[in-house]
Chain A
Amino acid sequence: MEIYSIRPILAVVIPFICALLIAVTGEKNRDLREFWTLAASVLGCMVVISMFPHIYSGGKYIFTVAQIVPGVELGFRVDAFGMFFAFLSSFLWIVTSVYSIGYMRALKEHAQTRYYFCFAACIASAVGIALAGNLLTLFVFYEILTMSAFPLVMHEETSAALDAGKKYLAYTLSGGALVLFGMAMTYTLTGTLTFASHGFLAGHGSEQLLKMLFVIFILGFGVKAAIIPLHSWLPSAMVAPTPVSALLHAVAVVNAGIFGIVRVVTNVYGIELVADLGLLLPLAIVASITIIFGSIFALAQDNLKRMLAYSTVSQLSYIILGAALLSPSSLSGGVAHIAHQGFMKITLFFCAGAILVQTGKKNLSEMHGIGHRMPLTMIGFTIGALGMIGAPPICGFISKWYLGLGALEAGHPIFTAVLMASTLLNTAYFIPPIYNAFFKEPEGDLIESREASWWLLGPILLCALISLIFGMVPMIPYTPLQLARTFLGV
């Protein structure tokens, strides 16, 4: 059942209005911009939540703004999957906003107006991507996201930050160009871009063309999804302030790429068509390679945030793998992992940020014994890391379970092996820091350091808790897994 409602656009517009308010009032009253951020994030999240029941019961919300191209309007169409991503973004925005306030104040960062402005714009576009009803709307917000995330990457204004920003733009814009091209081809083939439950490309164009188109889409969205070898912007972008890395580069931006891929696979091509074209196995192989190599790269990092970035690269491909394996279990595991990975990774990044704020340390080798001085932070870190490894009862286990199951269901046990290998590698790079943090004595200036303020600690613990909850009781309603299953109809 489709309901024509203003709610989708509201969810997108609220952060945008917030961004404008920040821009207008930000320089005059510093507290006001934080207030706007918090208010808008809560409000936005409530709007999203208000759509939950109807979506959960299998309905949809639609809303059309204006025609951009004849036949294709700037339109929204909320289904469970979009809902899922929108909720993830807007909810984590609240958390991150709180964290940001603590982080930015503690570090006395410059240009905070710009920071909050861009942050709000990013969230708006992420929600826009999530709720987009057609490929064009998705793309519009996709590009706005690219552009509004870009000042955040360069926030530090150091030369490293400037270089990272340029690299980020070069990658994402090329990706965007490919997506645009693919979209144009789709439009020429079918005359529409509106997502359909079972895809709309079937029966259009030759097999060859469709295969090519698919590759174009995967390459285009794959840039943001940080598929190896298109990933190298992501570690560079870690020079951004930690809340940015946490929310955008671990969740919103990268998941936008993933989201795009899933949308293409499920709602543009349709699962049957993708399967018929025989495109899934190559995709799965690419995802596997990314999983393995991302982890291997992560092993080599000393900088905590870079390590987390490579971990993100690796984890994101779980989702792609899930989509590629195309069994009900793997798909629900993959989709759920969008949220699981989001919560866990944001916890880890928050921890890294808290450590940075309190001690100024960025490298793992300098963090020995930190667990003695910042126990709560490091407990949060441990929960996130264990989740990443896939240890029960944390939510990472749930997704990995379903993925592994799906691989077997699909008749490709080899990918279960890939998951195993990845788990081993994850253990290899997550366990030593935890060990060092708790079982070594603090040295040097670490001796003086204390636990972070509650502005920072709160979000860490909240996210860690949610990760735990998702992992322990995955069968209650509204958990990512259940939402994913609703979306997939299993």
Chain B
Amino acid sequence: MTWASHLPIIVVLIPLLTAYITPMLGWMDKRICNPLVIVSTSFAFIASLLLARSVLTRGVISYHMGGFAPPFGIALVVDYFGAYMCIVISFLTLMAAIYSREYIAKELHESKTAPYYTLLMLMTGGMMGASVTGDLFNMFVFFEILSISSYALVAITGKKVAILASYKYLLLGAIGTSFTLVGIAYLYILTGTLNMADLSVRLASLYGVGRSSWTLLVALAFFMVGYSIKAALFPLHTWLPDAHSMAPSSISAVLSGILIKVGALALIRVLFNIFQPEFVVETIPVTSMISWMAAVAIIVGSLFAISQVDLKRMLAYSSVAHIGFIILGVGLATGYGTTGGILHIFNHAMAKGCLFLCAGAIIYKTGLRNIDDLAGLGNKMPFTMAAFTIAALSMIGIPPTAGFISKFYLGLGALETGTWSGWVFIGAILLGSLLTAIFYMRVINNIYFKEPLHREDVQRDETPLGMLIPILILAGGCVIFGIFPRIPLSLAEPAAKLLLGI
């Protein structure tokens, strides 16, 4: 066994170990935290890439912790989807970490620097773990790691509203946790195993068998509710706008960019890895149910976003809508649709990450949060605003940005179902992207084409380079992966096929 075969655990351990080292080093010298985190996430990112490469060349990797074979040992299973998620997570975290260097110095009190990075690394570790685990209970544990650290991160500024938002998030998150825990219990009663692969095999024999099938349904229902809360799927999204808008912007970027996607990942794992696709698609129409919910999420989320005056809150509601796109793609359970959903995880991560980082830069430079006050920023912060515009266009799904490609796949997926509901879904996708345009164009118009409120504000005053670089990388990614969509698709497509078993 070479070191390469340990990659699945390495990607999880790097952030987790960093999380332990950070407070110690931070105690000695706070300035060391940021480089440390950047270096470690860079390693995690490289490791994720290597992991993806070996998954692409060798197929699904099963890694048994300590060499114990499942069901006794704990297994890490990295399929295309897991490797894909690892890349997204480590990439966006890396961007957030680079950004944090300047941003945190102003936004947070000095004493909170070390806790901030610790929590960030914990959260990353949790997300990585949830992506690569092959064990249902492990999933739960990793979810708690990421959830609890994210609760704390939301409140880390110590502002009045942030704390309350964090508490609200915590309560709902805890309910979600409890529900998934109950779901796990049911499945364990039925099968006596928690390994996903085993579960899948054993559950298959229980479909439609008297009382057991009822138990199955109850378990599924608990999972759906629990993870829907984590993924902020409408109507269980109520915590998201507060939490995401109140967190520091670097954290908002991670939360909106990937954390809720991990919830989506859990949903996907439950639907397609634990239960069989034919069960959730045909026997009981769970997927079509969540598709409908997702469609409503797209519309309602966008409508809410339109009525916002606060920039970050608007971005948060936009996340509600876009998690709808992702879940819709998953729920369509067709080759194109699921590919689109999975692809959108990546595309939305980049775009929304970029948008939140830009919002952070605006707050950093001007202290403005209100959309109507942004007039004239196009001259003041040209690069930041250009990045904002590109990312916003990607959110709307304008070619040649990445968002268009996911819209294309989602649209194909909706039509591929060949049912009348598919036509409704594509209606929702198209209407959703139009509504998205409405609220993003409002911001862009304000930035570029409006008389600034205070003339003297409009001096060239660009975001510091340390913050600008991640913003520009993300914005560049929105364009590059729109023009070269093959790159993410090379993972997303096999991931969807594997999940659906086609």
- In the complex, A touching B, CB below 8 Å? no
Q: Which residues of A contact B (CB under 8 A)?
A: none
